[in-house]
Structure 1
Amino acid sequence: MTAGNSVRVVAAGDHFVLPSLITRAVEHEVERARVTELELGWPLEPFGPVAEVQEASDAEDAMVEALAGAQVLVTQMGPVTEKVLAACPDLRLVVVCRGGPVNVNLEAAKQRDVRVCFAPGRNAAATAEFTVGMMLAALRRIPQAHGPLARQGSWEGATYYTYEQSGLELEDLPVGLVGYGAVGSRVARVLCAFGARVMVYDPYVHGEIHGLRVTSLDELLRRSRVITLHARLTPETRGLIGARELGLLPSGAVVVNVARGPLLDEAALCDALESGQVSAAALDTYEREPLPAQSRLLGLTDRVVLTPHLGGASRAVAEKAARIAAEEVGRWVRGEPLAHCLT
């Protein structure tokens, strides 16, 4: 807290959560904020591991330079590593414009009495909408029909009107959700409106849900013509859906993953797609990002819908993330309890 004095803030945005969005939101919340802007390269430059943190822009030196004398950092992809924290002794608050601060060394921040906050729920609606869109695209073969007509003027996509190649509709379709958090619960509501037979497996959720609660993952898989993943990535959920689990699905099932790539064993999925056990998949996230040029998925484009991690990409998400982060800065300046603090 600054006890009425001006507070120096670094708005380390990127090409999605723009520095200017962060600046406007902070200035709306904090009357005496002095904001310095830094623009990082994501998403035009992929994130990745930086020193000991994950999913960050490779910009430690730029961060150290920008943070000189600053008390507050607001960022989405800035690497807050041991090196950065050690070089910035004035830093007291880090607010990350995302659901989990994987780009922050939390232990090092705690040792230096730096508070670390995050922005939960900022992309739940966008990701849920994108999930349903990906599901429809895979079920009805929309990209495969679009490509020949748009690129070559070919009507060959009409083959998807034959009985053998026509897709499935959501009404009365058994759809299984693995996870029922902020995104999964929204997907369930939308699918129920379509008339799908929604089933949910989430051992951590209690109370009423949209759909039928299923008590085991195996039971969910056996009963679902479509599965969509919404679990958090933890050591326990990494590789949650592998060869054994895919083998439990009804033959010709569809798999959707707009959550975290490592929830799904990609090699096992490719095997299942090649054998016909899985008829189609829609993926927005991958075990490795960007997707390697040698990925087997790229040889299965007649059966897959692939997008480059766009589930949370809406303007409303960027604006909401900046606002949630700025509200946390305002609470810190006023000496109020922080709403989403991890240290």
Structure 2
Amino acid sequence: MQTVSRKPVVIVTAADLAPQALDMLTPFEVVFAGKQPTEDDIVALCAAHKPVAIIVRYGKVNARIMDAAENLQVISKHGSGIDVIDQEAAAARGIAVRAAVGANAAAVAEHAWALILACAKSVPQLDMRMRDAHWDKSTHKSVELDGRTLGLVGLGAIGRRVAAIGIAFGMRVIAFDPYAKEAPAGTQLVSLDELYATSDVVSLHCPLTAENRQMLNRDTLARFRRGAILVNTARGGLIDEAALAEALASGQLRSAGLDSFDVEPMTTPHPFRQIPNVILSPHIGGVTDAAYVNMGKGAAANVLAVIEQHAHNAA
């Protein structure tokens, strides 16, 4: 009896992937891990299916998962943040790690601006007051952004889009990025200390590394211009959350807009829930209709590129 050769497997750490990405992956059997897969769930799937690739949407990929997938050639992130992948463990095992760089840049930049504007104009707070029958016209003052300074930590694909919008709003735009060789027109590269001290709005757009974990702490938040706005659509681990809660309570910061947290989903109870001048969203900056397709296609393309390179090298 003739046996049918089974397609190599790609595991997706989610319950779905854009149809356009699935079309690209027809040479593979795609196995979904579910909506919120645990480490044990992914290990079990790896042991059962021996995937050649993992597309990471939710959760983390560590050495234990890699060791359960003995045929693994590539770990492909559905997005740009690869801090959820143990890159040292992957390198030690000869497993490629790839990111869909820029695939969600427009989405995240737009959400950063949604949070900046919500903070500057107190949109959620005024909405709640109106629903409670208050009319705060005589007592409320919003922050006007025209002529103010926007400080960007990170000037990659997302940061550059945020900068362009800031310039369109009439803001002075400054940025810190140790890897940027030049800044786009209208944006000035400065030191991190100068950025903290002179910005009216600080927006984070850098990857999380061992070196910059909790870069915003009691010491650095104290150097901010009093009454500044902080927005984080990057990674929660960049901020010492207890220190931020203190800075918001004391008035050192006017407000903060946060789309990412040190532990996700955000733990319960959490002090941020009781702080009126922080605006929260559940790490959905990159989750839009277009970005869903772009990130899926980018992640699939990275899988195909690495697998093809392996096949070429083996030939």
Unaligned runs of 5+ in 1: 28-32, 51-56, 339-343
1:92 maps to 2:73: yes
1:59 partner SS: helix
Q: Which residue of 2 is the match for residue 173 of structure 1? A: 148
1:154 maps to 2:151: no
Structure 1 residues 90 and 258: alpha-carbon distance in aligned structure 2, compared to 1, 3 A threshold: closer
Cα displacement (A) at 1:78? 6.4
Unaligned runs of 5+ in 2: none
Q: Which residue of 2 is the match for residue 63 of structure 1? A: 46
Cα displacement (A) at 1:324? 1.6
2:30 partner SS: strand
Calculate the TM-score normalised by the size of structure 1: 0.79
Q: Which residue of 2 is the match for residue 188 of structure 1? A: 163
CA distance, structure 2, for counterparts of residue 36 and residue 314 of structure 1: 23
1:9 maps to 2:9: yes
> In the TM superposition, what are the counterparts of 1:137-286 in structure 2 within 5 Å?
137-149=118-130, 153-156=131-134, 158-159=135-136, 161-162=137-138, 165-286=140-261
1:206 partner SS: coil
Q: Is contact 2:153–2:205 with CA below 8 Å preserved after alignment?
A: yes
Aligned-pair identity in percent equals 31
Cα displacement (A) at 1:108? 4.7
Question: Relative to structure 2, which stretch is displaced further, 252-261 or 327-336?
Answer: 327-336
1:99 partner SS: coil
Q: Is contact 2:174–2:190 with CA below 8 Å preserved after alignment?
A: no
CA distance, structure 2, for counterparts of residue 191 and residue 244 of structure 1: 27
Question: Relative to structure 2, which stretch is displaced further, 208-217 or 186-195?
Answer: 208-217
CA RMSD of aligned residues (A): 2.9
Q: Which residue of 2 is the match for residue 54 of structure 1? A: none
CA distance, structure 2, for counterparts of residue 213 and residue 20 of structure 1: 41
Structure 1 residues 252 and 72: alpha-carbon distance in aligned structure 2, compared to 1, 3 A threshold: closer
Calculate the TM-score normalised by the size of structure 2: 0.85
Q: Is contact 1:177–1:227 with CA below 8 Å preserved after alignment?
A: yes
Structure 1 residues 328 and 295: alpha-carbon distance in aligned structure 2, compared to 1, 3 A threshold: closer
Task: Select 1:311's aligned residue among 271, 281, 285.
Answer: 285
1:18 maps to 2:12: no
Amino acid at match of 1:305: I
How many residues end up aligned between the 2 structures? 308
Q: Which residue of 2 is the match for residue 40 of structure 1? A: 34
Question: Relative to structure 2, which stretch is displaced further, 125-134 or 249-258?
Answer: 249-258
CA distance, structure 2, for counterparts of residue 250 and residue 107 of structure 1: 38
Amino acid at match of 1:89: E
Q: Is contact 1:99–1:122 with CA below 8 Å preserved after alignment?
A: yes
Amino acid at match of 2:30: T
Q: Is contact 1:231–1:237 with CA below 8 Å preserved after alignment?
A: no
